[in-house]
Structure 1
C-alpha cells in the first residue's frame, strides 16, 4: 500500500503539501493540487479517513436515517436522490442508515452515524416522537435535521409538509366538482402522515357541512394490494359514493383496478385522487390526479440548513411546505353538477 510520502515524491512536493491538499486547509496553488491528485491516482494512495477526521475535525459526510418500511416506492426514491444530489453539490457524501422497526432502533441508527463522525444527521422518522427528537438534538453537538415532522422545541431543525392542508384542499376540490359522497382510503394509521391526511379529509367534509360517514373510510397500508382491498371493502359496504381520496398513489392504483374489475368506470362513475404524484401517474389510463409534495424543495431546505449550521450562515424561517394538486383525467364532475 502506497504512503503519503510516496505521493509527495511522485508529485515533487513536500509531505506537508500533500497533507494540506487532502485536508483542504491552507493555500495550495491549483497547479500543485493537480500534481498531487495525479500522483494519488498513479500511486493508488488511499488516505486514512480516521486520521483525516481527527486532523480536520470533519468527515464531510452527512447521515440519513429512514426506516426500511419506506424504501419501496417513488416517494423515498425522490427523497434519497435529492439528498444525494444536493449533498454532492455541496461537496459532501451521503451515508444511509436503516431505522428498522422501532423508536429504539431509529435512535440506535442516529447514534451509529454520530459514532462514525458524520458531520450531521438527517432523520425521516417513523417511530420517534417529537419530544424524543428534541431530546436527541439537545444531547449532540452535531446538527440534526428532522424531515416531515413538527418539533415543539427545535423548530429550526425540522422541515415539514402540510399533509392535513393538502388533503383538505384535495377533498374540497372534489366537493367543488359536485361530489358529496366521498370515500377515503387511509395509509397505515401508525404513520403521522396518514393521520394528518385523514384529518384533512374530515375537516373538508365539516367545512362543507357534509356529514362524515365512517363506512366511507377504509384502511389501507400504502400498497396497491391494500388499495384494492380497501376499494373492495367500500363496494361491499353498499354505501353510495362518487369519489375516493386515497392516501397515496399506489393505493389509488389498486382501487382503480378493483373498480375496473367491478365494471365501474373512472372517472365516469367514481373520481379518484391519490398522493405523491408518482412518475407513472400521467401515463395511466385514466391519468391519475394526485397531490404532489415539494420533496425537492424540502430536501434543498434541509441541506441548506445543515450547511448553515456547519459553516455558519442564515437560517430561513420557512419550515412548512405546501403541496399542489395535479388535476388529471381521473376526476370528473360529481352528480350534483351533472
Structure 2
C-alpha cells in the first residue's frame, strides 16, 4: 500500500510538507506543490481522509439512520436522494447506517455514526420510542435530529408534518365527492404516520355519521403486493365499497392492479387515493389522487439545523398538500 512517506520521497520533500499540502494549510512554493501532486498521481496514493478528520475531531459527514425495512422501493430512494443532495449542497458527505429490525440495532447504528465523529446525525426511527430518542439526544455531544416523528421533550430536534390533519383533508375530499362506503388499507402496526391516518379515517367517518366497519379495513404492510392482496381480500368478502383510501401510494398501486384484474373500472366503479405523492403517482392510469408529504423539507430543515443554520431551517414550512388527480370520481348525480 502506498503511504504518505512514499509520496514525500518521490516528490523530494518531507512527510510533514505532504501532509500540510493535503490539508490546505501549506505555506510552500508552487514548485513543491506541483511535485507533490505529480507524485500522488504517479504513485496512486489515496489519503486517509477519515483518519485525518478523526485526528482533528471534526468530519464533514452527516449520518443518517433508517431501517432496511424501508429500503425497497421509491419511498426510500426519494428520502435518501434528498438527504444526500442536501448534505452535498452544504459541503457534507452522507453516511447511511442501517437501523435493521430493533431498537437496539437502531441504537447501534447511531453509536456507529457517533464513533465516526459525524458533524450531525439524522434519525428516522422505526423502533426507538420517543423517550429512548430523548435520552440519546440528551446524552450526545453530537447534534441529533429526528424526522417524521414527534419529540415532545425536544421539539426543536424533531421535523415532522401533521399526518393526522392531512388524512382528515383527504377523507373530507373523498366524502365531498359523494362516497360513504370507503375502505382503508393500513400500513404496519406501530407506525406513527399510519396510526394518524387511520385515526383520521375513523374520526371523519364519525363526523359525517358514517358507520365504521372493521371488514372494510385490511393491512397492506406499505407494499404494492400488500395493497393488492388487501384489495382482493376486501372484495372476496363481498364488500361493495365505492372508494379505497390506501395508507401510502405503493399500496394504492397494488390495489389498482387488483381492481383491474377483478374487472372494476377506476374511478368509475371504485375510486382510490393514497399518500406520499411519489413520482409514479403522476404516471399511472388514472393518475393518483394523493397527499404530498414534505420529506424533502423535513430533511432540509434537519440538516440545516445540524450544521448551525437554524434561521434558514425555520423559514421552511412542513405543510402537506392535497394533490387532486383522476383516481377519485364524483358520485353526485
- Considering the TM-score relative to the shorter chain, is it more than 0.5? yes
CA contact (8 A) 1:160 1:319 kept: no
Change (3 A) 1:313 1:298: closer
Q: Deviations over 1:159-209 (max 9, x none)?
A: 112211111111111111111221111111222221111112122223333
**Structure 2: segments with no counterpart, 5+ residues:** none
Whole-angstrom CA distance in 2 between matches of 1:196 and 1:108: 28
Equivalence for 1:155: 155
Q: Report the equivalent of 2:102.
A: 102
Q: Residue by residue, what CA displacement relative to the aligned partner does 1:33-68 show, whole Å, maximum 9, x if unpaired?
A: 788656544442322345413432112112211111
The aligned runs of 1:284-299 (5 Å cut-off) are: 284-299=284-299
How many equivalent residue pairs? 333
Give 3-state SS (helix, strand or coil) of 2:327's partner. Answer: coil
**Once the two structures are superposed, what CA deviation does each residue of 1:115-148 show, in whole Å capped at 9, x if it has no partner?**
2222222111111001100100111111111111
Query: Partner of 1:77: helix, strand, or coil?
Result: helix
Mapped to 1, the partners of 2:148 and 2:30 lie a distance apart of 42
Distance 2:317 2:13 in 1: 51
Aligned counterpart, 2:136? 136
Note the residue ranges of structure 1 that are not aligned, 5 or more in a row.
Answer: none
Match of 1:333 in 2: 330
Structure 1: distance between partners of 2:258 and 2:294: 30
SS of match in other structure, 2:77: helix
Q: Which residue of 2 aligns with 1:116?
A: 116
Give runs of aligned pairs for residues 268-307 of structure 1, distance below 5 A.
Answer: 268-307=268-307
Provide the secondary structure at the position in 1 that maps to 2:184. strand
Classify 1:191/1:36 alpha carbon distance in 2 versus 1 (closer, same or farther; 3 Å): farther
Match status 1:52 vs 2:38: no
Q: 2:321 aligns with which of 306, 312, 324?
A: 324
Tell whether the 8 Å contact from 1:62 to 1:118 is kept in structure 2 after alignment: yes
- Contact map agreement 1:20 1:28 (CA 8 A) in 2: no
- Residues 159 and 320 in structure 1, CA contact (< 8 A), matched pair in contact too: no
Distance 1:316 1:89, change over 3 A: closer
Query: Taking structure 1 as reference, are residues 18 and 255 closer, same or farther at Cα in structure 2, changes over 3 Å only?
Result: same
Contact 1:188–1:219 (CA<8 Å) still a contact in 2?
yes
Equivalent-residue separation in structure 1 for 2:217 and 2:52 (angstroms) = 56
State the superposition RMSD in angstroms.
2.7
The verdict on how the C-alpha distance between 1:332 and 1:64 changes in structure 2, with shifts beyond 3 A counting, is same
Q: Pick closer, same or farther for the CA change 1:37–1:325 going to 2, 3 Å.
A: farther
1:222–1:248 contact (8 Å) kept in structure 2: yes
DSSP 3-state at the match of 1:321: coil
Q: Which whole-Å CA distance do the structure 2 matches of 1:332 and 1:313 have between them?
A: 43
Matching residue of 2:93: 93
Alpha-carbon distance in 2 for matches of 1:108, 1:289: 39
Q: Is the 8 A contact 1:188 1:221 kept in 2?
A: yes
**Superposed counterparts of 1:1-338, under 5 Å:** 1-4=1-4, 7=7, 18-23=18-23, 40-49=40-49, 51-308=51-308, 314=311, 316-317=313-314, 321-334=318-331, 337-338=332-333
Q: 1:63 & 1:137 partners in 2: Cα distance?
A: 14
Alpha-carbon separation, structure 1, partners of 2:84 and 2:295: 13
Q: Distance in 1 between matches of 2:324 and 2:37?
A: 52
How far did 1:225 drift? Answer: 1.8
